[in-house]
Amino acid sequence: MIELLGQAATDLLSLQTILFLFLGVIVGLVFGVIPGLGGTTALALLLPLTFGMQVIDAFAMAGGIMGAVAMGGSISAILLNAPGTAPSAATCLDGYPLAQQGRAAEAIGAVATASPLGGLFGVLTLLLVLPLAREIVLLFGPPEFFLLAVFGIVTVAMSDSQNLLRGLIAAGVGLMLAFVGYDDVHGGVRFTFGSNYLWDGIPLIPSLVGLFGMAEMIGLSIKGGTVAADTAAVRLDGVVSGVRATLRHWKVVIRGSLTGTLIGAIPGVGGTVATFIAYSTTKKADRDPDSFGTGRIEGVVAPESANNAKDSGALLPTLAFGIPGSAEMAVFLGILVLHGMQPGPAMFVDHVQDIYGLILALTFAAVLASLIGLLTVRWLAAITLVKGQILAPVVIAVSLVGVYAINLRPGDIVLAAILGVLGHLMIRFDFPRLPLVIALILGETAERGFQQSMMIGQGDWRIFLHSPTSITMLLLIIMSLSWSIVPILRKRMTSS
C-alpha cells in the first residue's frame, strides 16, 4: 500500500497536476462561498472539461473542488449565516454567533484547522477500511436505513434540551413536508395540489438557503446594525486562537471526523446529516450543552471535522459499488465513467493507483484550501463590519440567484423566499429550525426503509430486530431519547 501511495504521490506532484489541483481548489472555494452553488454544481460544470485530461489530472481537479468546497461553504456560513453548501449549515449554529461577537476570524481559523484534520482522518480511515469496504456497506439494508434515519432525526430534535417539544414538532412538520412529491415506493404523487414543481418534493438547497441564510438576513434588516454586534470588539487577528482551540479540542475533532466518515459512507444519507449529527453528539457530550448556539468554538470544530471527513466516507460506496454516497459523488461517478472506469470491486484491482491519487488529491486540496482561507481571513472577517441595511439585501439577492442557478427553476426562488419568512418566524417564536431540515432530508430515506422493511417482513415488526446492526441502531435511538428525557424527569422529581 505504501509503495502505491508513493507512486500516486509522484504522479500528483507533477507541475501540470498541481496546477489542476490548484484550479480545482480555487473553483471549489468560489462555488463553496456562493450560497446555493456548491460542489455538485462545480463538478457538473467541469465534468465535460475533464474529458481530454489524463486521469490523474481529472482526479486532481475533482479532488481540489471536493476538498475546498467545504471550506468555502463554511466561510459564508460563519460570516453571513448563509451556508454556501448544505453540509455547512451546521456550522452556522455556532459560527454565526461567534461572528456576531466579533470572533469571525477565530471561527474561520478553527474551520481551517478542523477541516483538513477531518479530511486527513477520513483519508486514513478510508485507507484502513478499503479492503473491508464490501462487508461494511452490505451491513445496511432497508430496516437499518430506516432506523438510521430515525436515529438522525431523534438525535437532532432532542439536541436542544430547553426546547425538546418544539424540536420534535419541527421534526414532525419536516417529515410531513418530506412526503410531498412522488412516492417512489408505491408510485403516484402526494400533496402536490396539481403543481408540477412539487413532483420532485421540496428541494433541499432552496430550503436551506431560505431557512438559514434568508431568515437571518430578514432579521438583520429588521434589527439594523452589523453582523458583529459590537464593531469595536471585532478581532481580525483571532486566527491563531481558532487554530489553538481546535487542537485543544482534539477529542471533538476525532468524534466529528469519525461521524463524518461513517455517515458519509452510507448511500443516500449524505454529508448534511453527518455534520448535524456531529454537532448534536458534541453538544450532548458537553458539560454545558445549553451554551451551544451562543458561540461555542466546539460547535464549529465538530461539524467542520465531519464536513471534510465525509468525502472520504462517501468515496467508499461510490468506488466499491458504484452507489454514490451523495449528489456530489453521483457527479464524480460520471467523471469515473467518462474516463473509462467501471466502479465496483474490480476498480480496486484495475485502477488502484488512481484511487490512491484521488485520495491524496483530496488531502492536499483540504490543506491548500485551508491555507488560502487562512491567508484571506482578515479581509473576509471584515464583512461582519458592513452595515446590515446594505449587507442583507445583497446577500438575499445573491442567494436567490444561486438558488435559481442550481436547476434553473423559478419555483426555487419562491420556495427559498417562503422558507426564509418561515425561518424568520421560527426564530421569533422559538421553534428550532434544525430538526425541520434534518427531517426534510431524511424523511424519504425513512419512509422508503420502513415500507421496504414491512414488505420484506410481510408486515412483521420484528424485521427491525433481525440483525445485530439494526439492534445496535435501535439501542442508539433509545439511548439518545433517554439521554435527553431522563435528566429533565430527574430534575422535575427533585424539584417536586
Binding site for other proteins (CB under 8 A): 34, 45, 165-166, 168-169, 172-173, 175-176, 179, 183, 186, 188, 190-191, 214, 218, 221-222, 224, 387-390, 392-394, 396-398, 400-401, 404-405, 408, 410, 413-414, 417, 420-421, 424-425, 428-431, 446-447, 450-451
Q: What are phi and psi of 267, to 5 degrees?
A: -60, 140
Helix (H, G, I), strand (E, B) or coil at 387: strand
Is residue 93 within 8 A of residue 212, CB to CB? The reply is: no
Instruction: Return the number of the residue (358 or 426) whose C-beta is nearest other proteins.
Output: 426
Instruction: Return the number of the residue (183 or 286) whose C-beta is nearest other proteins.
Output: 183
Q: Which residues pair with 190 in a beta bridge?
A: 181
C-alpha distances in Å from residue 220, one per residue of 74, 215, 244: 19, 9, 31
- Please name the amino acid found at residue 86: A
Is residue 151 within 8 A of residue 476, CB to CB? The reply is: yes
Instruction: Return the number of the residue (310 or 424) whose C-beta is nearest other proteins.
Output: 424
d(CA 364, CA 356) in angstroms, rounded, equals: 12
- Cα 394 vs. chain centroid, distance in angstroms? 25
Instruction: Return the number of the residue (119 or 423) whose C-beta is nearest other proteins.
Output: 423
* Set of cell numbers at residue 243: 487554530
Instruction: Return the number of the residue (37 or 335) whose C-beta is nearest other proteins.
Output: 37
Q: How far is the CB of 477 from other proteins (least distance, A)?
A: 15
CA atoms in the 13 A half-sphere facing the CB of 67 = 36
Helix or strand run (H / E) with residue 182: strand 181-182
d(CA 327, CA 306) in angstroms, rounded, equals: 17
Instruction: Return the number of the residue (414 or 481) whose C-beta is nearest other proteins.
Output: 414
Instruction: Return the number of the residue (31 or 121) whose C-beta is nearest other proteins.
Output: 31
Q: How far is the CB of 416 from other proteins (least distance, A)?
A: 8
Q: How far is the CB of 213 from other proteins (least distance, A)?
A: 12
Taking the CA atoms of 312, 318, 323 and 324 in sequence, report the sign of the dihedral they define: positive
What angle is formed at CA 277 by the lines to CA 482 and CA 227, rounded to 5 degrees?
115
Q: How far is the CB of 394 from other proteins (least distance, A)?
A: 5
Q: How far is the CB of 404 from other proteins (least distance, A)?
A: 6
Nearest residue to 384 via CA among 15, 54, 82: 82
d(CA 226, CA 221) in angstroms, rounded, equals: 9
Nearest residue to 384 via CA among 114, 115, 108: 108
Taking the CA atoms of 18, 21, 26 and 29 in sequence, report the sign of the dihedral they define: negative
Instruction: Return the number of the residue (45 or 137) whose C-beta is nearest other proteins.
Output: 45
* Set of cell numbers at residue 310: 465525509
Q: What are phi and psi of 433, to 5 degrees?
A: -85, -25
Instruction: Return the number of the residue (113 or 159) whose C-beta is nearest other proteins.
Output: 159
- Cα 244 vs. chain centroid, distance in angstroms? 24
Q: Which residues pair with 387 in a beta bridge?
A: 226
Q: How far is the CB of 205 from other proteins (least distance, A)?
A: 15
Question: Position of cell 452553488?
Answer: 37
Instruction: Return the number of the residue (180 or 319) whose C-beta is nearest other proteins.
Output: 180
Instruction: Return the number of the residue (240 or 397) whose C-beta is nearest other proteins.
Output: 397
Instruction: Return the number of the residue (379 or 429) whose C-beta is nearest other proteins.
Output: 429
Helix (H, G, I), strand (E, B) or coil at 301: helix
d(CA 314, CA 43) in angstroms, rounded, equals: 15
